[in-house]
Chain A
Amino acid sequence: MRGVVERKLRSALTIGGVAAGILALTLSGAMAEHFGAQFDGGVRYYRAAIQVADDAGSTAGVVSTTRIDQIQRVPGVAIALPTIQLLARPGTTSVVPLGLPDTIVYADPREAKYSGLTTHVAQGRQLQANRQGEVVLGADLAQELGAKVGDTLDLPVKPRGANPDFVNHPFKVVGVLRRTGTLPDATASIGLLDAQMLLQESLPASFRDRVDPSSLASGITVYGKPGVNLDALADKISSTVPGVAATRPTDYVRGWDQSGKFGAATITVEVLALLFGALVIGSAMQLAVVERAGEVGLKMALGARAWHVAAEYVVEATGIALLGGALGLALGFGLAQLLDLAGRSIGMDIFLVTGRLVRIALALTVLVGLAAGTAAALRVFRTDPDVAMRMI
């Protein structure tokens, strides 16, 4: 590694090149990890349940909870529960096409028994039945809003330039959830009565006054009994319960499961980043062998075998790669944190640097170093000591 210090400019450029490659890899990988976690959670949640909506294609996007009893009677149904989802920060989601929108949700407490997603509070407590004006925030949303237990915040968050008739209500934060890396992180969970009130207020004025808020829901989530084919059950609900449309979990998940496409794009970026890093360090090491041919000859004259010298190049290349990799990782991690911090106010929190990503980046870094060092070493093996000695 002494050579790395001695050739400061060359080493700095090489390390910088590798760092740039690993930086790109870290950022793209952190995005992939973030979206992968979100998609995985969504897939896990929606695969376990049937989503039921109004069949009439209601422009208001609501369904009457009076359908629940009818659905409950369909053979194979374990439980049917109302769900309510509303944008927590209307006006910001259109700006940010990436990630999950911040959402106000009502989920029946009984759902925890069936759902593939479980949540735990990091601070405060969960919601209590029949208590109004309380909210439990997901970890990301709490961070975005800068809210903590005991604070009061208005929901939905009033966007800039909102219409004069925009309505929101104060909610006391009673809990903040532990980070899950997926859906619940971007949610504000409130009680049923509050959620129905907000849902009603979100409806078009012409429709709003004609509905009974206590029968409103965004949808109905249905869980099947053990062993029941949920796709078949969804078809049965659609055909036997009038006025509703049940979506097959496999169809719903297909819409959610974009991780494959995103993963492919990310892998492309990572491969390009790696190639870039490999080219930088590979060419530097090749040049080093040519430039230091005399040194190679000198070492052979002193009794070194070709593999001795070759091993030195492998160690040097791996060391340079590791330095560059560590720098790239550190920069990538820092940049991801900064970008997330800057984007948090608009809900653009899109990086997740995981231990797995760090391990992959370091492993690939070592691989690139070994490959570059080995290529240089092969050149050493082809070096004729007689010719090399004349270059001293």
Chain B
Amino acid sequence: MAAIEVSGLAKTYRHGQPGAVRALQDVTLSIQAGEFVSLVGRTGSGKTTLLHCLGLLVRPTSGTVKVDGVDTASLTDGQRAELRGRRIGFVFQDRNLVPGLTALENVLLPLRYGWPRRGARARARELLDQVGMADHADDRPLQLTPGQAQRVAIARALMKSPSLILADEPTGEVDDETSDELLYLMQQVNRTSDVSFVIATDDPDVGSCMDRMVRMSEGRVASDQRLRTERIRLSGIR
């Protein structure tokens, strides 16, 4: 079953008003469980809007979004939030972490909003260990390098065992070496679990090391290629 699938998706900002912006047009896409996919395109190509539609953060103007087979069109905002919290993890480009919380507390943050907490701290520590941040559990975001902050964000995205992780330019603010490390880490997570990844990037090199590369242009899917990739080797993709 597809982890997420969209069909005939369109999103127009200021719909029906002067100056309306058509951010997405007739996008049809299906992401299978365990896929490692990149959304590649220039700024303004619609990557982020598509990611937000996939993440149920924005309602499309038309078309459908199905998460684990559930059509989200008829869901209330609360139900969408619940589904998003349960099935989808997010990693952003920058300022991913809440400044006032430690790394461990940031990983625990998704549980603040209504999910069971039994064994949560142990799991959070385990995830920090998995992303190589066990020694920084008590550090605040300002004490972390951008790469370390992204690792914490990846751990947090995994906290509720989602079926899909959406990452918006996760390597945009880090140097090449750290970028490779992060991509390697995400690939490791993808390979060792059934979690699908959709990573939006404007860097074709990053996209080329994924299993599948979806090119976006002017709000449409310009191409959708399956790639034969090897495991990402550290500092090896450039």
Contact = CB atoms under 8 A, between A and B. Distances in A.
Interface of A: 2-3, 5-6, 294-295, 297-306, 308, 384-386, 389-390, 392
A298 B96 contact: yes
A301 B113 contact: no
Given A6-B100, A306-B77, A385-B58, A392 B82 contact: no
B109 interface: yes
B90 interface: yes
B57 A308 contact: no
B52 to A, nearest CB: 5
Contact of A302 (B48, B99, B113): B113
B228 interface: no
Interface in B70-123: 77-78, 81-82, 84-86, 90, 92-96, 98-101, 109-110, 112-115
A382 to B, nearest CB: 13
A305 B114 CA distance: 10
Contacts of A306: 77
B41 interface: no
A388 B156 CA distance: 19
Interface residues of B, number: 31
Contacts of B114: 303, 308
B46 interface: no
Contacts of A303: 81-82, 84-86, 110, 113-115, 160
Contacts of A298: 90, 92, 95-96, 98
B146 interface: no
Nearest to A386: B58
Given A301-B55, A302-B85, A3 B100 contact: yes
Contacts of B84: 301, 303
Contacts of B90: 298, 301-302
B200 to A, nearest CB: 12
Contacts of B85: 302-304
A58 B95 CA distance: 85
Nearest to B23: A386
B92 A299 contact: no
Contacts of A2: 100-101
Contacts of B77: 305-306
Nearest to A301: B90
Contacts of B96: 298, 392
5 contacts: A294-B95, A297-B57, A302-B113, A303-B86, A305-B82
A280 to B, nearest CB: 21
A317 to B, nearest CB: 16
B113 A305 contact: yes
A154 B82 CA distance: 81
